[in-house]
């Protein structure tokens, strides 16, 4: 009996030591990428049993403030807008890429065509209630503002952006995706401007908007650049963002260990891009930004 207990003790000790030997890689990411990265982490760790990925999911500007103020030191940093990396994390993340695409869509509680509306005239729906995410915490919020400004130019509707802002109730500006989607599902909110990936993952009815305003195509980069928005994050300095194709960013901390480099390479791989497309993201040409 003593021998059995001793063997069991050695077994658990060996198991504990094996877990302890797994190299930890800390990854900061926005909430919009969490479902994708959860699946990607499972796939990566299966093929790399010696590496454990620790993921912290939070609104982009919360993560960036921690990094910018040197209060956190993740190995990998992912953002909804790749341009934010050199702006707020460039001092420690000198290898960064725009690596994944998305677009802004109009999600709705029920199909507007059931009430006789024509989907092509989506801008008529703004007489109803609509919501966005808070641009002070999430790039998805300022992307919605950029889309409205582009719509004014694209459709030739002077004053469209101003009227859209006037009709936007502050109670429909949410700092969390779950809260915004919850209001939409409950029928308290008619429409929401969100990422297509979110609409696909949450199985929300949604309308894809013209590429000239949905911030999805590289070919419209010059047109997107006609508009801008001033962002005032809660814990970072104010900055101006121009319209541009919506691209997520990933960056590797300087002098990172081999394990972190392996995760970084996986996120830039064709395998990861294929997985991302299954969840509503768009594959794009990977471009180094710093």
Give the pLDDT confidence of 222-260 residue by residue, as tens digits: 999 999 999 999 889 999 999 999 999 999 999 999 999
pLDDT computed for residue 3 by the predictor: 39
Here the contacts of 36-44 (C-beta below 8 Å, separation 24 or greater) are: 36/197, 36/275, 36/276, 36/279, 36/281, 37/78, 39/275, 39/279, 40/266, 40/267, 40/272, 40/275, 43/271, 43/275, 44/263, 44/266
pLDDT computed for residue 119 by the predictor: 53
Q: Is 23 left (phi over 0), alpha (psi -120 to 50) or beta?
A: beta
Burial class from Cβ neighbours inside 10 Å (0-12, 13-18, 19+) for residue 97 reads buried
Contact 200, 32 (CB under 8 A): no
pLDDT tens digit sequence for 119-178: 567 887 778 899 999 999 999 999 999 999 999 999 999 999 999 999 999 999 999 999
pLDDT computed for residue 128 by the predictor: 87
Cα dihedral angle (5, 9, 12, 14), rounded to 10 degrees? -130
Higher pLDDT, 51 or 7: 51
Q: Domains of the chain by range and CATH?
A: 22-101+247-288 (3.40.190.10), 104-231 (3.40.190.10)
Please name which of 241, 192, 243 lies closest in space to residue 216, comparing C-alpha atoms: 243
Percentage of the chain surpassing pLDDT 70?
89
* Residue 14's pLDDT band (cuts 50, 70, 90): very low
């Amino acid at each position: 009996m003593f021998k059995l207990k001793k063997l069991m003790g050695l077994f658990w000790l060996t198991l504990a030591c094996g877990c302890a030997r797994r190299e930890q890689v800390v990854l900061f990411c926005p909430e919009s990428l969490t479902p994708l990265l959860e699946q990607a982490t499972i796939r990566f760790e299966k093929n790399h049993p010696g590496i454990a990925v620790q993921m912290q999911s939070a609104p982009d500007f919360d993560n960036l403030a921690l990094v910018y103020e040197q209060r956190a030191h993740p190995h990998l940093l992912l953002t909804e807008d790749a341009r934010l990396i050199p702006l707020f994390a460039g001092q420690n993340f000198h290898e960064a890429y725009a690596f994944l695409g998305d677009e802004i869509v109009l999600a709705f509680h029920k199909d507007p065509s059931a009430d006789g509306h024509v989907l092509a005239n989506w801008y008529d729906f703004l007489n109803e209630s609509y919501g966005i995410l808070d641009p002070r915490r999430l790039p998805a919020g300022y992307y919605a503002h950029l889309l409205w400004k582009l719509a004014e130019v694209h459709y030739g509707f002077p004053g469209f952006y101003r009227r859209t802002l006037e009709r936007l109730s502050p109670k429909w500006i949410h700092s969390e995706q779950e809260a915004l989607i919850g209001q939409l599902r409950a029928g308290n909110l008619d429409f929401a401007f969100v990422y297509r990936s979110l609409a696909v993952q949450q199985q929300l009815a949604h309308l894809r908007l013209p590429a000239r305003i949905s911030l999805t195509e590289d070919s419209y980069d010059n047109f997107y650049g006609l508009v801008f928005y001033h962002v005032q994050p809660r814990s970072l300095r104010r900055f101006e963002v121009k319209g541009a194709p919506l691209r997520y960013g990933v960056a590797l901390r300087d002098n990172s260990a081999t394990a972190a480099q392996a995760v970084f390479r996986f996120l830039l791989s064709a395998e990861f891009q294929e997985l991302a497309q299954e969840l509503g993201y768009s594959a794009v040409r990977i471009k180094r930004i710093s």
